[in-house]
Chains A and B, each alone.
Chain A
Amino acid sequence: MFSKILVANRGEIAVRIIRTCKRMGIATVAVYSEADQDALHVKMADEAYCIGPARPDLSYLNIPNLLSVAHATNCEAIHPGYGFLSENPNFAEVAEKCGFVFIGPEHRAIERMGQKSVARELMIKSGVPVMPGSQSSIETVEEGLKIARDIGFPVLIKATSGGGGKGMRLVEKEEDFALLCEMAHGEALASFGDKRVYVEKYMRNPRHVEVQIIADNFGKVVALGERECSIQRRHQKLIEESPSPAVTPEIRRKMADTAIKAAKAINYRNAGTIEFLLDSEGNFFFMEMNTRLQVEHPVTEMVCNSDLVELQLRVSSGEPLPIEEELVQPCGWAVECRINAEDPAMSFIPCPGKIHKYLVPGGPWVRVDSAAYENYVVSSNYDSMVAKLIAWGRTRNEALDRMTAALKEYDIQGIETTIPFHLHVLKHPDFRSGNFSTSFVDKHYEQFIRELKESSTEEKEQLAAI
């Protein structure tokens, strides 16, 4: 096992990684930008070094400075967390060449999976179901249109090097194809420096279900069940749970087998997530693979009784996976709410600022992964996530009830947060029934706004009565 590692990230994930390292007796070196001098990860690590100004490209993405810290402090390995450089094949490669273990997959696997159409082509070759569409990037508009006609409209035009919905266009009718294809090319070029696009069938109201896998250096791949991530807004997940209410033991087995097959096809190592679109008939299709630890990994940890960061550290240091079975069966139910510094009443506009009061919920079956504290300033330089609140129960309803109680106990003042929205979703009959899709938030947003206004009027009336 390593004796000292560099944590090349900030916020809750840096804190999360440092916690496991402390428990395992591994020394940690934190890095921070000038905006993060008072950050929790800086206080918690054994050593901390400033690597640049607030701007991420000058600090958390500054590869020479990160590697110089690792070198000067004699670190053996680097954990990239999620975001920033975690899916940058160049960083993984340079880190390895400089003699550090990159805690993640090999750089070639990151590169292949990062190119969406390459990943798609690889999955087709390995027999993994993908949405019908072009085998790889399209050469001309005519070629794309022919494929679209064959698979039938609506179709999606997606950026080859894309992600996060950028460079993506939904085409409902044949006559719109050429124009939208040009727009997708332009956006793909502007966002990723690569204008290539590919075409795939568009599924209406799918569910987003993903399988967590982890692989060691000896060819063993284990699936740690699935996560349901359909409650999202503009491709940003808000609530995740494990298991998925739509996944039967048969679907779980099939999904896990497929995910394991996909991982083995690219000789994958370390933790990874294979995202699928699931239709109402139980058919699922490969969407993409995330070659890193996911934000929502705690729900998997809660139902699989494992520490994913520990497993990452173990396989990276050359240990075999300490798990016997190929598919870990979920025990109970876990749900996670992302508490963001966003105003849900104003279309989730980010609202960074100082947290004046901060009281976290507690008690059994409640977990808070956060880097916030009283008087902490949520910076506008980075993403708006303040905390992840996770609750566990024996059944789904029990987990959701415990989450509701914990959300009500969470007292964050000074900034707006997504807590009121989570409370609304948690009591919504469609969500409670388990029968929802990725269109849930769009479909129910107006109702939420209405209820929010009504409840604030009621509060005012109550106050006036007193």
Chain B
Amino acid sequence: MEVKQIKRLYEAMEANGYTTLELEMGKNESLKLKLDSSCSQTVEEKIESQEGDNIKSTQIEIRSDKVGVFSFAEKVLKVGDQINKGEILGTVKGISFQDRIKCSASGKISAVPVKNGEVVDYGKLLLLVEID
């Protein structure tokens, strides 16, 4: 298989929200493609800045842009937990996809409006992060 063809497969995966793809081509040849969720931007983030009393705090809203069942990754997050940029915080699993929820910056969790195993819909606020 040519690099061009593999590239095209990646584009198709991205367009359809697939994270893995396995192809069998003949008896001894197979191909497994894995799409890192940093390639497919599936989580909406909104940065809000508030300025007052000379203290500047910036919050990131992490929202779901698909519909599925939410699960925390390693542990159930709570207010005050420190998270790192790019760390997988949880997943939203739909019928044909699994989105990894990440934060684009490091910071402290300031609100957790989502429960483990909850069905989340489009635009649902999952986590609020106070950026360091």
Give chain A nearest CB distance to B17 CB in angstroms: 6
Q: Which of A13-69 contact B (CB under 8 A)?
A: 34, 49-53, 59, 64-65, 67-69
B97 surroundings in chain A (CB, below 8 A) = 64, 68
Residue A71 interfacial (CB < 8 Å): yes
CB distance from A78 to the nearest CB of B (A): 12
In the complex, B119 has a CB within 8 A of chain A:
yes
Report B17-49 CB contacts with A as 1/0, cut-off 8 Å: 100000000000000000000000000000000
Contact of B94 among A34, A52, A59, A65 (CB under 8 A): A65
Enumerate chain B residues within 8 angstroms of A349, measured Cβ to Cβ. none
Check A72 for interface membership: any CB of B closer than 8 A.
yes
For window 77-96 of B, CB contacts with A under 8 Å fall at: 94-96
Residues of B within 8 A of A191 (CB): none
A71 and B122 within 8 A (CB)? no
Contacts A64-B17, A69-B67, A72-B68 given; indicate if A49 touches B119 (C-beta within 8 A): yes
Cα-based distance from A73 to B94 in the complex (angstroms): 11
Is A50 a contact of B122 with CB atoms below 8 Å? yes
Report the separation of the CA atoms of residues A68 and B123 in the bound assembly, to the nearest whole angstrom: 15
Closest residue on chain A to residue B119 by CB atoms: A72
Interface assignment of B14: CB less than 8 Å from any CB of chain A: no
The CB with the most chain B CB atoms within 10 A, among A65, A67, A69, A73, is that of A65
CA–CA, A59 to B119, complex, Å? Answer: 17
B53-77 contact mask (Cβ, 8 Å, vs A): 1 or 0: 0000000000000111100000000
Q: A70 vs B95: C-alpha distance in the bound complex, in angstroms?
A: 9
Number of interface residues of A (CB under 8 A): 17
The answer to whether B69 touches A72, judged by C-beta atoms less than 8 angstroms apart, is yes
Interface residues of B in 96-131 (CB under 8 A from A): 96-97, 119, 121-124
Q: Which of A51, A64, A70 has the most CB of B within 10 A?
A: A64
**A49–B95 touching, CB < 8 Å:** no
Known interface pairs A49-B119, A72-B119; A67-B69 also in contact (CB < 8 Å):
no
CB–CB B17/A73 < 8 A: no
The binding surface of chain B is classed by DSSP as loop
Q: How many A-B residue pairs have CB under 8 A?
A: 50
B69: chain A residues at CB < 8 Å are 72
Name the distance in Å between B6's Cβ and chain A's nearest Cβ. 24
Are A49 and B17 within 8 A (Cβ)?
no
Q: A49-B67, A72-B67 are in contact. Are A67 and B95 (CB under 8 A)?
A: yes
Which of A34, A69, A70 lies in contact with B123, CB distance below 8 A?
Answer: A34
**Quick check: A68 and B122 within 8 Å, CB to CB?**
no
Q: Is the CB of B122 within 8 A of A52?
A: yes
Q: Are B17 and A69 in contact (CB under 8 A)?
A: no
Does A98 sit within 8 A of B, measured CB to CB? yes
Q: Complex formed: what's the CA distance from A70 to B121 in Å?
A: 12
Q: Contacting B96 at CB < 8 Å: which of A49, A53, A64, A72?
A: A64
A50 & B95 in contact (Cβ 8 Å cutoff): no
Asked if A65 and B96 sit within 8 Å, CB to CB, the answer is no
Q: In the docked arrangement, what's the CA distance between A34 and B121, Å?
A: 11
A99 (CB) vs chain B CBs: closest residue: B95
- Shortest Cβ distance from residue A307 to the other chain B in the assembled complex, whole angstroms: 30
Tell which of A34, A53, A68, A98 touches B67, judged by Cβ atoms closer than 8 Å: A68
Contact call A64/B123, Cβ cutoff below 8 A: no
B123 touches A50 (CB 8 A): yes
Report the separation of the CA atoms of residues A73 and B120 in the bound assembly, to the nearest whole angstrom: 11
Cβ of A71 and Cβ of B121 under 8 Å apart? no
Please name the residue on chain A nearest to B118 by beta carbon. Answer: A72
**Complex CA–CA separation, A71 to B98 (angstroms):** 14
B122 touches A65 (CB 8 A): yes
CA distance A70 to B119 in the complex (A): 11
Known: A65-B67, A65-B122, A71-B95. 5 other contacts (CB 8 A): A50-B121, A50-B124, A64-B95, A70-B95, A72-B119
17 contacts between A and B (CB under 8 A): A34-B123, A49-B122, A50-B67, A50-B122, A51-B67, A51-B121, A51-B122, A59-B122, A64-B66, A64-B94, A64-B96, A65-B66, A68-B67, A68-B95, A69-B119, A70-B95, A73-B119
Which 10 A-B residue pairs are closest in the complex by CB-CB distance? Answer: A68-B94, A49-B121, A50-B121, A72-B119, A71-B95, A68-B67, A50-B122, A67-B95, A65-B67, A68-B95
